Chain A
Amino acid sequence: MFAFIVSRILQALPVLLSVALISFAMFAYVGDPVAIMLGQDYTQAQRDALVAELGLDRPFWVQFATFIGNAAQGEFGLSYRLSRPVADLIAERAPATLELAFTAAVLALLVGVPMGVYTGLYRNSWLSRFFLTFSLIGVSLPTFLIGILLILVFAVWLGWLPSFGRGDTVRLGAWTTGFLTVSGLKALVLPAITLGLFQLTLIMRLVRAEMLEVLRADYIKFARARGLPNRAVHFGHALKNTLVPVITIVGLQLGAIIAFAIVTETVFQWPGMGLLFIQSVGAADIPVMSAYLLLISLVFVTINLIVDLLYYAVDPRLRIGRGKGGH
């Protein structure tokens, strides 16, 4: 178990390091941070002093090591656009994005998996056909259009739900949450649906395809031949085997949710990291961009690790060396 985790972390390191290198290269060489920090008028002496102070005259690898050291402590310098520490900006925005992504992911899983199971088990029912048609639309519509349509219907025409912002939030130490107020929860509905819909349809199609595949397996036929009730066959034997491949792809999709939050947050003016990132892209605010990139890749790598662990928990065939082997 321990060796398994260590090997997975070692595999993830090159990815993290390459992303860090790209982040650093952006940070160090794109634009002229010294000129930006000094403003309009400065002397060569001032410039040299700042260059020395920032360590920009030191060798590349030394600078890179310093960058990684700083990044590990959450230190990413000042935002060009807002002149505030990047770490503070991200810390302020992170709860909004994480709450949105979490809700969207839960929605996609809680609705997508049962729909996939249902359409896999009852292939020819009219409800299955309806779900499939619906999923085709869900896969083809761009996220921002879904958001706009939802706003038009539920906020503009029906007036049931707010169309932008997080509503009232409650402070819990460093974290601000919208889960504890009615307006916060209402504000979450439309963005979460917008963000979760694509993943939901994707998960549904995936679970359906896997379910159809598994239901043809010999061990399912044998489970029926042993006279097990349908419930045990479908939701025990079939679903558990379906989960093995589904976990992998769903894990990757959950990572994508955080990235796609950029679009959703823009549509709903949701004050999260994605909105911060897109404003930074527009203003060429490199420190924020590189910090965001590093953070996102850290999230991706973490999710991959969790996926591997889940895989390990579900599939006994991966737990090598546990049994005595009967050969």
Chain B
Amino acid sequence: MSNAAPLLEVRNLRVEFPTRRGTLVALDDVSFSIAPGEVLGVVGESGAGKSMTGAAIIGLLEPPGRIARGEILLNGKRIDNLRYEQMRRIRGKEIGAIFQDPLTTLNPLYTVGQQLTETMTTHLPINPAEARRRAIEWLELVGIPAAAQRIDSYPHEFSGGMRQRVVIALALCAEPRLIVADEPTTALDVSIQAQVIALLKTLAREKGTAMMLVTHDMGVIAETADRVAVMYAGRIAEIGPVREVVKHANHPYSAGLMASIPPLDRRVERLAQIDGAMPRLSAIPRGCAYNPRCPKVFSRCADERPDLMDAGTTRAACWLYASEVPHG
């Protein structure tokens, strides 16, 4: 864990969705922090709560979803209880966001230049001419060729990869300290994914921007992140330095997840897989949510829900690492 004062701190976050059939708990007891300039990778299966965590941080949970408990702190100040207008000033300015599908995140009826300049003039004390000059700079920076001409093009005139570069420019142009990137490469061609990730990584390092990188691509995490959080059924299963989690995962679920990645250095006949499926939010089992699928399950797992605890190199939510010996 980094020693600097954290840029973002999430404490015991719980997100609920009230429905007609009762309240669904989408996130429960999620705690982590991100240091300035640090890249935190968040991995897990679809529905594990990765994107939900990102949405909660930027204050854009889809209604009726709401934060029921816990706190989110940016630079030591709570931002989870701000009014819409106060939070709006933080979005874009302090926390930038990148969404999954570049084909739908850009407004088709505005040129990329218009979208860049409006973002900058909203947050920075600059005039439109200056904003336009900087917009061209940003387009060059994210690798759009002939930026001075392309600035007046509409999104549909760019390819998918180029559009995601524009989205990255939009997220960074007001110089936020933190970027929440929600599966930024999932919708792109495999050949383009590496380029976009490399760009994101370079820019974040140059600008000193911290990043929460949500993805289900372990390759991207291993290459980009400093630390990684593994999520399962709305909770963090394990969190720690990326090298440790990838090579020596302590939580049985993380271990299973890592074993399912095809290794590059040797041939295997058959990839490991985890039996069963992640439970639906409406049917999370008692005790540890992973216990029905866990190869190392024992009696305590079905009764008590584990919190994150020290597991040597990482912190894991697993009773295997309980310091006191369970009764019985």
Interface residues of A (CB under 8 A from B): 217-219, 221-230, 232, 236-237, 240-241, 244, 314-317, 322-327
Task: A227-B91, A227-B123 given; name 9 further pairs at CB < 8 Å.
Answer: A221-B105, A222-B167, A224-B91, A225-B60, A229-B122, A240-B107, A315-B109, A324-B149, A326-B157
Cα distance A217–B107 in the bound complex, in angstroms: 9
Cα distance A225–B170 in the bound complex, in angstroms: 10
B119 contacts chain A at the CB level, 8 A cutoff: yes
Cα distance A236–B89 in the bound complex, in angstroms: 18
Shortest Cβ distance from residue A326 to the other chain B in the assembled complex, whole angstroms? 4
Shortest Cβ distance from residue B153 to the other chain A in the assembled complex, whole angstroms? 5
For residue B290, which residues in chain A have a CB less than 8 angstroms away from its CB?
none
The stretch that binds A, out of B23-31, B96-104, B219-227, B251-259, is B96-104
Output the nearest chain B residue to A228 by Cβ-Cβ distance: B122
B90 contacts chain A at the CB level, 8 A cutoff: yes
For residue A323, which residues in chain B have a CB less than 8 angstroms away from its CB?
153-154, 157
For residue B88, which residues in chain A have a CB less than 8 angstroms away from its CB?
224, 227-230
B298 contacts chain A at the CB level, 8 A cutoff: no
Cα distance A323–B159 in the bound complex, in angstroms: 12
For residue A327, which residues in chain B have a CB less than 8 angstroms away from its CB?
159
Cα distance A319–B26 in the bound complex, in angstroms: 44
Shortest Cβ distance from residue A101 to the other chain B in the assembled complex, whole angstroms? 30
With beta carbons under 8 angstroms apart, the residue of B58, B96, B107 that contacts A219 is: B107
Binary contact track B97-133/A, C-beta < 8 Å → 1, others 0: 1010100111111110000001100110000000000
Cα distance A325–B150 in the bound complex, in angstroms: 10
The count of chain B contact residues (Cβ–Cβ below 8 Å) is 38
B93 contacts chain A at the CB level, 8 A cutoff: yes
Given A227-B123, A232-B118, does the pair A317, B154 have CB atoms closer than 8 Å? Answer: yes
B92 contacts chain A at the CB level, 8 A cutoff: yes
B293 contacts chain A at the CB level, 8 A cutoff: no
Q: Which of B40-92 contact A (CB under 8 A)?
A: 58, 60, 84, 88-92
B39 contacts chain A at the CB level, 8 A cutoff: no
With beta carbons under 8 angstroms apart, the residue of A224, A236, A324 that contacts B60 is: A224
Q: Which of B174-189 contact A (CB under 8 A)?
A: 174
Cα distance A275–B80 in the bound complex, in angstroms: 65
A218 touches B99 (CB 8 A): yes
Shortest Cβ distance from residue B162 to the other chain A in the assembled complex, whole angstroms? 5
Shortest Cβ distance from residue A322 to the other chain B in the assembled complex, whole angstroms? 8
Cα distance A315–B107 in the bound complex, in angstroms: 11
25 contacts between A and B (CB under 8 A): A217-B104, A219-B105, A222-B99, A222-B167, A223-B107, A225-B58, A225-B60, A225-B96, A226-B96, A226-B97, A226-B119, A226-B174, A227-B93, A230-B84, A240-B107, A240-B110, A241-B107, A241-B108, A314-B109, A315-B108, A317-B154, A324-B149, A326-B150, A326-B157, A327-B159
A225 touches B97 (CB 8 A): yes
B99 touches A225 (CB 8 A): yes
A227 touches B154 (CB 8 A): no
Output the nearest chain A residue to B104 by Cβ-Cβ distance: A218
**Interface-central residue, A226, A228, A244, A324, by most chain B CB under 10 Å:** A226
Given A227-B92, A326-B158, does the pair A241, B109 have CB atoms closer than 8 Å? Answer: yes
For residue B92, which residues in chain A have a CB less than 8 angstroms away from its CB?
225-228
B286 contacts chain A at the CB level, 8 A cutoff: no
For residue B84, which residues in chain A have a CB less than 8 angstroms away from its CB?
230
Shortest Cβ distance from residue B3 to the other chain A in the assembled complex, whole angstroms? 31
Cα distance A326–B167 in the bound complex, in angstroms: 15
Leading 8 A-B pairs by shortest Cβ distance: A227-B92, A323-B157, A227-B91, A225-B97, A218-B104, A326-B158, A316-B154, A226-B92
Interface residues of B (CB under 8 A from A): 58, 60, 84, 88-93, 96-97, 99, 101, 104-111, 118-119, 122-123, 149-150, 153-154, 156-159, 162, 167, 170-171, 174
Cα distance A101–B84 in the bound complex, in angstroms: 43
Given A225-B99, A316-B156, does the pair A219, B106 have CB atoms closer than 8 Å? Answer: yes
Output the nearest chain A residue to B167 by Cβ-Cβ distance: A222
Cα distance A322–B111 in the bound complex, in angstroms: 13
B105 touches A222 (CB 8 A): yes
Output the nearest chain B residue to A315 by Cβ-Cβ distance: B109
For residue A325, which residues in chain B have a CB less than 8 angstroms away from its CB?
157
Shortest Cβ distance from residue B79 to the other chain A in the assembled complex, whole angstroms? 13
For residue B60, which residues in chain A have a CB less than 8 angstroms away from its CB?
221, 224-225
Cα distance A315–B156 in the bound complex, in angstroms: 11
Cα distance A241–B110 in the bound complex, in angstroms: 10
B156 touches A317 (CB 8 A): yes
For residue A230, which residues in chain B have a CB less than 8 angstroms away from its CB?
84, 88
Shortest Cβ distance from residue A248 to the other chain B in the assembled complex, whole angstroms? 15
Cα distance A222–B103 in the bound complex, in angstroms: 12
For residue A317, which residues in chain B have a CB less than 8 angstroms away from its CB?
108, 154, 156
Output the nearest chain B residue to A219 by Cβ-Cβ distance: B107
With beta carbons under 8 angstroms apart, the residue of A217, A222, A316 that contacts B97 is: A222
Cα distance A326–B157 in the bound complex, in angstroms: 6
Shortest Cβ distance from residue A227 to the other chain B in the assembled complex, whole angstroms? 3
Shortest Cβ distance from residue A111 to the other chain B in the assembled complex, whole angstroms? 25
For residue B108, which residues in chain A have a CB less than 8 angstroms away from its CB?
219, 241, 315-317
Cα distance A314–B99 in the bound complex, in angstroms: 26
For residue B157, which residues in chain A have a CB less than 8 angstroms away from its CB?
322-326
Shortest Cβ distance from residue A231 to the other chain B in the assembled complex, whole angstroms? 11
Output the nearest chain A residue to B91 by Cβ-Cβ distance: A227
For residue A224, which residues in chain B have a CB less than 8 angstroms away from its CB?
60, 88, 91
Shortest Cβ distance from residue B83 to the other chain A in the assembled complex, whole angstroms? 12
Shortest Cβ distance from residue B96 to the other chain A in the assembled complex, whole angstroms? 8
Shortest Cβ distance from residue B13 to the other chain A in the assembled complex, whole angstroms? 19
Cα distance A322–B92 in the bound complex, in angstroms: 31
Cα distance A226–B180 in the bound complex, in angstroms: 12
B91 touches A226 (CB 8 A): yes
For residue A240, which residues in chain B have a CB less than 8 angstroms away from its CB?
107, 109-110
For residue A226, which residues in chain B have a CB less than 8 angstroms away from its CB?
91-92, 96-97, 119, 122, 170-171, 174
